[in-house]
Chain A
């Protein structure tokens, strides 16, 4: 069965410090990995997906198949980064529909001034 693990429920960093939100997955095939973000009182929205290899709002994430990880990183945290972050996996038809997602439990990122 596919699974996404985010080991930290809460991560607190100082403004300007580096951020790393951890995500590990288990999946037998070739997964597609995503990071979703939910800012306070807003809806869940896509931050980035591994196939795009983009940097969004200064965040990057590299898929490491050997370690089955997809950690989210940003070199310098900003106050507006405070949010709930969810790592998600899309593995095709089984386990979630054609591109239904399997989510981790989420990490609440707090930015201290």
Chain B
């Protein structure tokens, strides 16, 4: 595709439910990032992949959050036992390498009820 694609665009989950958010980066992009953007806030870094290797997961807020990129392209962010404070827009970004422009997806808006 022409840009970073995220699905679903919107997700409503009941508290305690598990969710999986998908990111299709730009083809050939080595670096992939996940960010969490709460209402009225800027995006906050969650985790970073270089190809299939997760090199930094320091921003994941708890062990309920898990991300993978098994073949170095598509990535999935999984949140187990969702809680209300997990409600946010989850953004994925990819770039062709270190210190190159990051291109963002349109995000997945997660609402936990």
- Seen from chain A, the residues whose Cβ lies within 8 Å of a Cβ on chain B are 4, 6, 9, 32, 43-46, 49, 86, 88, 90, 93, 95-106
Tell me the interface secondary structure of chain A in the complex. loop
**Residues in B neighbouring A88, C-beta threshold 8 A:** 42
A103 near B44: Cβ-Cβ < 8 Å:
yes
Min distance, Cβ A73 to any Cβ of chain B, angstroms: 20
- Seen from chain B, the residues whose Cβ lies within 8 Å of a Cβ on chain A are 3-4, 31, 33, 35, 40-45, 47-48, 50, 55-56, 58-59, 91, 95, 98-107
B104 near A103: Cβ-Cβ < 8 Å:
no
B102 near A96: Cβ-Cβ < 8 Å:
no
Number of A-B contacts (CB under 8 A): 68
| Sample (25) of A-B pairs whose CB atoms are under 8 Å apart | A4-B42, A32-B99, A43-B3, A43-B107, A44-B91, A45-B103, A46-B101, A86-B42, A95-B58, A98-B48, A98-B50, A98-B55, A98-B56, A98-B98, A99-B98, A99-B99, A99-B100, A100-B45, A100-B59, A101-B35, A101-B102, A105-B40, A105-B41, A105-B42, A106-B42
Closest 10 CB pairs of A and B: A97-B48, A103-B42, A97-B56, A44-B104, A96-B45, A100-B45, A43-B106, A105-B42, A103-B43, A98-B98
Q: Which of B4, B31, B35, B91 contacts A98 (CB 8 A)?
A: B31
B43 near A44: Cβ-Cβ < 8 Å:
yes
Q: 6 other contacts beyond A43-B104, A44-B43, A98-B50, with CB at 8 A cut-off?
A: A6-B42, A9-B40, A96-B59, A97-B45, A100-B56, A105-B40
Min distance, Cβ B111 to any Cβ of chain A, angstroms: 18
A110 to B35, CA, bound (A): 26
Query: Given A93-B56, A105-B40, A105-B42, are A99 and B95 also a contact pair (CB < 8 Å)?
Result: yes
A97 near B55: Cβ-Cβ < 8 Å:
yes
A9 to B39, CA, bound (A): 13
Min distance, Cβ B90 to any Cβ of chain A, angstroms: 13
